């Protein structure tokens, strides 16, 4: 009787099989040996459990090589965003403009005058590279930047109100997702939250009644990811500023998505612009760099110079400061914003948000012709809504045009799962028994990959 343990190849034989010899060019020898041993151990366990195994050295070597390749593949890789959600937090929010990406790349691979004034040879602040650009696009007296808007909120509240009270409307106690919740952020900052009003109605008098000797600031928070509808009242920023002036209190505006350009002419709803918050008199305005600014992940604090200086003196500034790559990308993005028309046309997030429906429909129609050549695939085109983004303006939709696909071979959920796990990975929407592809966020040069991905998913 043959002994199945004896039929297994030796480690040496396995390592000498062509697939693992070829793998030596891609993987360290020690990892190959370890993987080969582990594969043989797994087979021995199966035999011991009475399971049938059949493995020639050649086949087994191929399996081990495939496992090694899979383990060495980068965990972070590019995906095709066919969801139509422009600022998709789970997909990295805003793609950078070519000039911003290049600036980050150059900063990454060399040395730069990050904290050095080349004229004087003296140490300088890394903030000086972006302060001017931030003031120019916001109209603020001064500005500084940290890792994200959550950090901006924490450090701004510490500077203005640590150990004191900050008055916020109950209608604005938002959770942005992850763990950004206004009451908790406030607690971390050392400021005490003083809630006023109700979920749907808050009046100036509610804020005023809450002001006492320990009040340091009034704060407005943008309801980024929800809306209160029906019978509602909230206080305009200008009225909050007037109240703040009367009682000598700072007014902080957590504006969130950081819109710099009016997008109403492009069919988007009116959102307060950062420059409007500044001109309304907010003492500090906080917003993200990777939402409607269209830049790298960061949090911007713009406003009164004395308060910005106080923020920069906080020891947390060291913990929250930007790295050189992000700073370089931000500087380049701000330079693009000096010409708002160019920024709208060229910054990817803004371009994608404002792509006209007619252009999207034309893209859908020509892409549909390619798709219709795939056997067993039913291709329709329909009008739908695209959303601005997860933690940014999820309530704000823009009319869009999508490809609605169904397959004779796979269910819509299996179809979408195959797209998601393929190479390149494609993220689509599933609705009414169809897989929907929105080309709005499919970047130039990704269409061939998308076509291949669909073909593979239904093949």
Q: Could you list the residues that contact ligand PLP (CB under 6 A)?
A: 148-150, 176, 180, 221-222, 224, 254, 256-257, 288, 299, 391
Q: Give me the DSSP letters along 323-343.
A: PHHHHHHHHHHHHHHTSHHHH
Residue 394 beta carbon to ligand PLP: minimum distance, rounded to whole angstroms: 10
Q: Shortest approach of ligand PLP to residue 308 CB, angstroms?
A: 18
Our CA dihedral for 443, 290, 168, 280, rounded to 10 degrees, sits at: -100
- Give whichever of 298 and 436 is closer to ligand PLP, judged by the CB atom: 298
What angle, 0 to 180 degrees and rounded to 10, lies between the N-to-C axes of helices 182-189 and 149-161? 50
Q: Tokens 């302060």 appear where?
A: 131
Distance CA 418, CA 409 (A): 12
Q: Which residue's CB is nearer to ligand PLP, number 187 or number 374?
A: 187
Quote the least distance from Cβ 49 to ligand PLP, whole Å.
49
Closer to ligand PLP by Cβ: residue 168 or 441 = 168
Q: Which is nearer to ligand PLP, 285 or 419 (CB)?
A: 285
Q: Which is nearer to ligand PLP, 93 or 434 (CB)?
A: 93
Q: Which of the 8 DSSP states describes residue 345?
A: H
Nearer to ligand PLP, 9 or 391 (CB): 391
Q: How many helices (H) and strands (E) does the chain have?
A: 20, 15
Residue 256 bridge partners (DSSP)? 287
Closest contact distance (angstroms) between CB of 78 and ligand PLP is 21
Let me know: does 250 contact 244? Beta carbons within 8 Å.
yes
Three-state DSSP state, 383: strand
Residue closest to ligand PLP when measured from CB atoms: 256
- Rounded to the nearest 5 degrees, what angle is found at the Cα of 389, between the Cα atoms of 387 and 391? 145
User: What does the alpha-carbon distance between residue 357 and residue 347 come to, in Å, rounded to a whole number?
Assistant: 18
DSSP for residue 17: S
In terms of CB distance, is 393 or 457 closer to ligand PLP? 393
Least separation, in Å, of the C-beta of 339 and ligand PLP?
Answer: 25
Residue 88 token pair: 């998709």
If the CB atoms of residues 155 and 221 are measured against ligand PLP, the closer one turns out to be 221
In whole angstroms, give the CA distance from residue 244 to residue 247: 5
> Is the CB of residue 272 less than 8 Å from the CB of residue 238?
no
The nearest distance, CB 180 to ligand PLP, in angstroms, is 5
Smallest distance from ligand PLP to CB 349, Å: 14
Rounded least distance, CB 299 to ligand PLP, Å: 5
């Amino acid at each position: 009787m043959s002994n199945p343990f004896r039929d297994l190849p030796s480690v040496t034989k396995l390592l000498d099989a062509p697939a693992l010899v070829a793998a030596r060019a891609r993987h360290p020898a020690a990892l190959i040996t370890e993987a080969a041993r582990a594969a043989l151990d797994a087979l021995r366990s199966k035999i011991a459990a009475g399971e049938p195994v059949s493995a020639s050295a050649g086949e087994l070597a191929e399996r081990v090589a495939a496992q090694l390749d899979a383990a060495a593949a980068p965990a972070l890789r590019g995906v095709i965003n066919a969801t139509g959600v422009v600022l998709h937090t789970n997909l990295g929010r805003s793609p950078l403009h070519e000039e911003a990406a290049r600036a980050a790349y150059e900063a990454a691979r060399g040395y730069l005058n990050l904290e050095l004034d080349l004229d004087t040879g003296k140490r300088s602040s890394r903030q000086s590279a972006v302060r001017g650009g931030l003031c120019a696009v916001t109209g603020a007296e001064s500005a500084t930047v940290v890792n994200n808007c959550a950090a901006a909120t924490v450090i701004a509240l510490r500077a203005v109100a640590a150990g004191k009270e900050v008055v916020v409307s109950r209608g604005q106690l938002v959770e942005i997702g992850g763990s950004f919740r206004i009451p908790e952020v406030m607690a971390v900052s050392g400021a005490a939250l003083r809630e006023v009003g109700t979920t749907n109605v808050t009046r100036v008098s509610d804020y005023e009644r809450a002001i006492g000797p320990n009040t340091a600031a009034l704060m407005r928070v943008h309801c980024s990811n929800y809306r209160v509808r029906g019978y509602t009242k909230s206080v305009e920023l200008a009225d909050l500023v007037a109240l703040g002036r009367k009682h000598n209190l700072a007014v902080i505006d957590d504006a969130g998505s950081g819109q710099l350009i009016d997008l109403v002419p492009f069919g988007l709803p009116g959102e307060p612009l950062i420059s409007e918050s500044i001109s309304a008199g907010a003492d500090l305005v906080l917003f993200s760099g990777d939402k409607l600014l269209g830049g790298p992940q960061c949090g911007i604090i713009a406003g009164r110079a004395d308060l910005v200086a106080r923020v920069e003196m906080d020891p947390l500034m060291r913990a929250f400061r930007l790295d050189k790559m992000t700073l370089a990308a931000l500087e380049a993005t701000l330079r693009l914003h000096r010409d708002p028309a160019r920024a709208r046309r060229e910054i990817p997030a803004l371009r994608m948000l404002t792509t006209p429906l007619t252009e999207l429909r034309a893209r859908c129609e020509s892409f549909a012709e390619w798709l219709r050549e795939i056997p067993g695939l039913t291709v329709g085109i329909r009008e739908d809504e695209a959303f601005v983004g997860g933690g940014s303006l999820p309530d704000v939709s823009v009319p869009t045009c999508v490809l609605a696909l169904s397959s004779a071979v796979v269910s819509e959920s299996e179809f979408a799962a195959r797209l998601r796990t393929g190479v390149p990975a494609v993220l689509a929407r599933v609705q009414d028994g169809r897989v929907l592809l929105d080309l709005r966020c499919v970047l130039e040069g990704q269409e061939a990959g998308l076509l291949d991905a669909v073909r593979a998913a239904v093949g």
